[in-house]
Amino acid sequence: MAELTYRDAVARGIAQEMERDDDVVFLGEDVAGAGGVFKATVGLLEKFGPIRVRDTPISEQAIMGAAMGAAMTGLRPIAEIMFSDFFAVCFDYIANEFPKSRYMSNGQLKCPLVVRTGNGAGSRFGAQHSQSVENWCMMIPGLKVVAPSNPRDVIGLMAAAVRDPDPVIFFEHKSLYATKGEVPDGEIVDTLGTAAVARPGNDATILALALMVPRALAAAEKLKVEHGIDCEVVDVRSLVPLDTQTILGSVARTHRLFTVEENPRLCGWGAEIVSIVADEAFYDLDGPPVRITTPHIPLPAADILEDIALPSVDRIVDRVKRSMNS
């Protein structure tokens, strides 16, 4: 067991898969010599060489096109798009090419690739470099979408993503790169489509993703200590596939549902889950589901304004407390 930062877990997760399978290659802008703009891929070039770890031009379309071609001809590429906001530049590949190749070729072509990207706010990068865009991707049939909240899950979900036969979008939260967590020794492999109960509880279910998981956990502790409200926190981890069994099971035990979402409120992932719960577990609920989200606004760069926009521990506590006491 070792303590790793989230960013070091990224490099370990990629290295684990590159050591296991010579067909795994890694490409992206500044990922090799510089070790990535967030220093999450340091050491991979030295370990695996310039054939398997390649710097690319500053062209998201070129990166995605090269990755797709490599995947269709037998390799298993991991491609980096530096900021998830830049998916807008190469969205044709993400929406129309990767996810539809196997379907449109009747299974003759496969596209086993991973697109990893820095997602989310908290770093004061402004409206074009701070978005949480997981809801952009989860709506597209044929894509799988994951977002780990801790170093151990970075490695396990990376392994699952690389070994999957379909394209997987792997969201790494920029504000989690410096956080630390215990990571077991040896190979770590998870299963896509599995949520994790990060904190058991009896009074309410709080669903969270990525950066919102530690905030939900801190809020749950505060709610228990200060208000006697015992919340179960579920780390969604995988949006597609979605672990409805764990989510619905938690709601059936606690009878209340809250989602904590960094994405803008309109069409966020929590809205889809609330819809599923309303369809399949309506009579388990003792009150209306509540979504705690970022407003439907471009994110500001000013620190105080960005902090106000994002769901905070205090906002989670206040909203849960008011709903439970109403």
Domain ranges across the chain: 2-183, 196-325
pLDDT tens, residue order, the chain (326 aa): 899 999 999 999 999 999 999 999 999 999 999 999 999 999 999 999 999 999 999 999 999 999 999 999 999 999 999 999 999 999 999 999 999 999 999 999 999 999 999 999 999 999 999 999 999 999 999 999 999 999 999 999 999 999 999 999 999 999 999 999 999 999 999 999 999 999 999 999 999 999 999 999 999 999 999 999 999 999 999 999 999 999 999 999 999 999 999 999 999 999 999 999 999 999 999 999 999 999 999 999 999 999 999 999 999 999 999 999 87
So what's the architecture of 196-325 in CATH? 3-Layer(aba) Sandwich (3.40)
Burial tier of 186 (Cβ tally within 10 Å: 0-12, 13-18, 19+):
exposed
- Strand intervals (E) in the chain: 2-5, 24-28, 53-55, 76-83, 114-119, 144-146, 168-173, 180-183, 196-199, 204-208, 231-235, 238-240, 257-264, 290-294
**Segment holding 314, helix H or strand E:** helix 313-325
**20: Cβ–Cβ under 8 A, 6 or more apart, which residues?**
187
Beta bridge partners of residue 205, listed in sequence order:
232, 257
End-to-end Cα distance, the chain: 45
Q: Is residue 187 within 8 Å of residue 249, measured between CB atoms?
A: no
161/154 Cα distance (integer angstroms): 10
The answer to whether domain 2-183 and domain 196-325 are alike in fold is yes
Fold of 2-183: Rossmann fold (3.40.50)
Q: Which two tokens stand for residue 241?
A: 């596939």
Residue-by-residue DSSP string for 3-60: EEEHHHHHHHHHHHHHHH-TTEEEEETTSSTT--TTS-STTHHHHHHHHHEEE--S-H
**Catalytic residue numbers, as ranges:** 129
Q: Helices (DSSP H) in 78-211: which residue ranges? A: 91-92, 101-104, 134-138, 151-163
Q: What is the pTM of this model?
A: 0.97
